């Protein structure tokens, strides 16, 4: 059906719609990414999904994406993640483009991701990475749940580096209550698109649970702030980590600090955005290392060249920059499974995309990165895991905007370098210390709660010196 209104407009492909529902019932709960991968294969680089009375254009062709990444014509759209604003408000990730708090917080918090800041986080990142090794050594020869342990790692890391708070996730046998509340809250937010308008009373139970989850997360964030304020008042704390900047720094443009409500939103934003995606990225990378012995051997050769036979090296900040191949493994994992698997933009004015599809000012356009990252422009076999795609010569010769795991432009990921450093360090220490055994002959299954992870992925780590 025709969606555009201009004369001569191209019609955007779509499946037959159901009355009232549109395509809402055809998108499986928690299965958006795999559904859109299939649909893009059938319908092409631009197609429409209609949720009740709202058309959502799904875009994945490189030329169209390049157009959408032009920040003089498009900006981030928050509409598809609007339900997350219930708990992340006008925090960095969910702030509308014209909300003054976005620029203010961006100015205030950028220094927490500078080169010097990353160097300062490095020792803490090493300390937390060692918690993984300790836990895996303690259970030698038994299966470990990879996404669960990577989530422990990344929550402890952002907690300590960003907020001076130790979640002590490795002291617990079950996920931290913050994680349980967060996963459930994100899941609820994601399902909101499929709620039938006018029948909200059917969701009363889910809404009540959502309120409890949000309270749990707020309580934890407020508690961390309270403790830091008490420490600062007593003169015991002047940390310039993320929380220190949130509490004490002023915006260079307006001279204003963040207000208390916004601090709470930023706390939740960073606690969530700062760990979920990195944990997924590490889990996918370990999955591919497990399934590709030659890649694992090459990665291990790299760490051996750096750290020799010492099974317990003390990596320096510079060491991590030298793990070029492991970084390529991570990049390639994020190509196939970008763990924040979509982002949306909207035109600043009415315009036409692809030379024939009229779009209105403010109409959200979703970029499907897993589809973009499998475009034939990647070569003959884009489904194949091959870290050589990120050899500098290959990477430099590729068209721009073909690789977007961290989003685009001004609203792209503020934590990108933090995540890459943390993840490369962890992968390096793991491949250097263990053989990885695919004891369950694991078959990849995707779990999706706004971000994606390999579901039920376990492996058995065996110390190399015990087996070689």
Binding residues for heme are 413
Residues 214-243 that bind ligand HEM (CB under 6 A): none
CA distance 57 to 54: 10
Query: How many amino acids of this chain bind ligand HEM (CB under 6 A)?
Result: 26
Are 367 and 345 within 8 A, CB to CB? yes
Residues 92-121 that bind ligand HEM (CB under 6 A): 92-93, 106
**CB of 22 or CB of 162, closer to ligand HEM:** 162
Please tell me whether residue 128 binds ligand HEM under the rule CB under 6 A.
no
Rounded to a whole number of angstroms, the minimum distance from the CB of residue 439 to ligand HEM is 27
CA distance 106 to 116: 17
CA distance 286 to 280: 10
By CB under 6 A, name the one of 49, 158, 299, 427 that touches ligand HEM: 158
Cβ neighbors of 43 (< 8 A, separation 6 or more) are 13, 14, 15
Rounded to a whole number of angstroms, the minimum distance from the CB of residue 94 to ligand HEM is 8
Q: Name the nearest CA neighbour of 269 among 391, 369, 411, 379.
A: 411
Applying CB under 6 A, which part among 60-68, 267-275, 310-318, 389-397 lies near ligand HEM?
Answer: 267-275
Sheet of 74-76, strand order: 46-51, 54-59, 365-368, 342-347, 74-76
Applying CB under 6 A, which part among 3-11, 26-34, 141-149, 338-346 lies near ligand HEM?
Answer: 338-346
Residue 364: CB atoms within 10 A of its CB come to: 20
Using CB positions, name the residue nearest to ligand HEM.
415
Applying CB under 6 A, which part among 184-192, 204-212, 272-280, 313-321 lies near ligand HEM?
Answer: 272-280
Please tell me whether residue 190 binds ligand HEM under the rule CB under 6 A.
no
> Which residue numbers belong to the known binding site?
413
Which residue numbers are catalytic?
A: 277, 406, 413
Lookup: tokens for 167: 């979640």
CA distance 136 to 150: 12
Rounded to a whole number of angstroms, the minimum distance from the CB of residue 201 to ligand HEM is 31
**CB of 284 or CB of 307, closer to ligand HEM:** 284
Residues 306-335 that bind ligand HEM (CB under 6 A): none
Lookup: tokens for 360: 């209105």
By CB under 6 A, name the one of 178, 270, 284, 357 that touches ligand HEM: 270
Cβ neighbors of 331 (< 8 A, separation 6 or more) are 387, 389, 390, 403
**CB of 262 or CB of 269, closer to ligand HEM:** 269
Question: Phi then psi for 72, rounded to 5 degrees?
Answer: -80, -15
Alpha-helical regions (H) of 308-356: 317-322, 324-336
By CB under 6 A, name the one of 69, 340, 368, 452 that touches ligand HEM: 340
Please tell me whether residue 273 binds ligand HEM under the rule CB under 6 A.
yes
Query: Token match 């709620």: residue?
Result: 195
In terms of Cβ atoms closer than 10 Å to its own Cβ (0-12, 13-18, 19+), residue 170 is: middle
Distance of CA 125 to the CA centre of its chain: 18
Rounded to a whole number of angstroms, the minimum distance from the CB of residue 19 to ligand HEM is 32
**CB of 49 or CB of 160, closer to ligand HEM:** 160
**CB of 153 or CB of 429, closer to ligand HEM:** 153
Lookup: tokens for 334: 């994020």
The Cα diameter of the chain in Å comes to 72
**CB of 268 or CB of 460, closer to ligand HEM:** 268
By CB under 6 A, name the one of 178, 287, 343, 403 that touches ligand HEM: 343
DSSP assigned state of 378: G
CA distance 328 to 336: 12
Rounded to a whole number of angstroms, the minimum distance from the CB of residue 427 to ligand HEM is 12
Q: 3-class SS at 50?
A: strand
Residues 398-437 that bind ligand HEM (CB under 6 A): 405-407, 411-415, 418-419
- What is the pattern of x (binds ligand HEM, CB under 6 A) and - over residues 61-90? ---------------x--------------
**Contact residues: ligand HEM, CB under 6 A:** 76, 92-93, 106, 158, 269-270, 273-274, 277-278, 281, 338-340, 343, 405-407, 411-415, 418-419
């Amino acid at each position: 059906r025709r969606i555009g209104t201009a004369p001569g407009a191209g019609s955007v492909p779509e499946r037959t719609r159901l009355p009232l529902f549109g395509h809402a019932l055809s998108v499986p709960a928690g299965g958006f990414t795999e559904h859109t991968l299939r649909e893009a294969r059938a319908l092409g680089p631009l197609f429409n999904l209609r949720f009740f009375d709202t058309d959502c254009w799904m875009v994945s062709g490189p030329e169209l994406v390049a157009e959408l990444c032009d920040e003089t014509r498009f900006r981030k759209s928050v509409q598809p993640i609007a339900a997350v604003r219930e708990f992340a408000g006008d925090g960095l990730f969910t702030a509308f483009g014209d909300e003054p708090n976005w620029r203010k917080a961006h100015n205030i918090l950028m220094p927490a991701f500078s080169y010097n800041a990353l160097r300062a986080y490095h020792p803490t990142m090493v300390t937390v990475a060692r918690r993984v090794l300790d836990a895996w050594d303690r259970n030698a020869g038994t299966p470990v749940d990879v996404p669960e342990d990577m989530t422990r790692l990344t929550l402890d890391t952002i907690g300590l580096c960003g907020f001076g708070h130790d979640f002590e996730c490795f002291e617990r046998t079950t996920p931290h209550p913050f994680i349980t509340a967060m996963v459930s809250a994100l899941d609820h937010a994601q399902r909101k698109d499929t709620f039938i308008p006018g029948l909200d009373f059917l969701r009363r139970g889910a809404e009540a649970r959502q309120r409890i989850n949000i309270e749990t997360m707020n309580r934890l964030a407020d508690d961390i702030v309270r403790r830091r304020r008490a420490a600062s008042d007593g003169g015991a704390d002047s940390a310039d980590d993320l929380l220190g900047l949130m509490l004490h720094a002023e915006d260079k443009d307006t001279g204003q600090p963040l207000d208390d409500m916004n601090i709470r939103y930023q706390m939740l934003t960073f606690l969530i955005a700062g760990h979920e995606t990195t944990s997924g990225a590490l889990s996918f990378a370990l999955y591919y290392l497990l399934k590709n012995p030659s890649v694992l051997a090459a990665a291990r050769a790299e760490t051996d060249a750096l750290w020799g036979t010492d099974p317990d090296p003390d990596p320096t900040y510079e060491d991590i920059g030298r793990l070029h191949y492991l970084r390529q493994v991570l990049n390639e994992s994020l190509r196939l499974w970008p763990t924040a698997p979509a982002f949306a933009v909207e035109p600043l004015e009415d315009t036409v995309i692809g030379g024939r599809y009229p779009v209105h000012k403010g109409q959200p356009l979703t970029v499907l990165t897993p589809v973009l990252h499998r475009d034939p422009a990647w070569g003959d076999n884009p489904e194949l895991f091959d870290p050589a795609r990120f050899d500098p010569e290959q990477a430099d010769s590729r068209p721009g905007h073909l690789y977007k795991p961290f989003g685009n432009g001004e609203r792209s990921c503020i934590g990108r370098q933090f995540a890459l450093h943390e993840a490369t360090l962890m992968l390096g220490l793991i491949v250097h210390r263990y053989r990885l055994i695919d004891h369950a002959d694991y078959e990849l299954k995707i779990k999706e709660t706004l971000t994606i992870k390999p579901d039920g992925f376990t492996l058995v780590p065996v110390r190399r010196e015990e087996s070689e």
